[in-house]
Amino acid sequence: MSEMNIAEQQAKTLADYAANTADSAIKSTQRATNNALDGLVGGVQNLRQQAAPAINRVGALAQQGVDSVRDTAQHMRERALHATDSTVSYIKDEPVKSMLIAAATGAGLIALLSLLTRSSNRG
């Protein structure tokens, strides 16, 4: 073999070695990246599984709150209607008493208002 062939052979061997080393490094990097991504995906799935019950509980509590407000509002409407019906019925049955009660209540409110305005004028 001539010196040129030996130099060419050594250059080719070094180039092959560098290419194999680079290929090895790329494959190693790909494996590490894939492992890291697999771990990340597993972590996200784990977090999602852990968070799902808490999210469901919050949703259930919110729904209970909405239902409770709706029930309370309905109950208050029914009580107001009952009070209105009772008042109208009482006024029809006892018109004179109703007028006297209304007059006494009005007089009491005026007296109370008068006292409040006097004490606020003094202070």
Terminal Cα distance for the chain, rounded = 121
Residue-range domain boundaries for the chain: 3-122
pLDDT of residue 2: 64
Mean pLDDT computed over 37-61: 86
Instruction: Quick: pLDDT tens for 59-103.
Output: 899 999 999 999 999 999 999 999 998 988 888 888 888 888 889
Using CA atoms, how far apart are residues 48 and 42, in angstroms rounded to an integer? 10
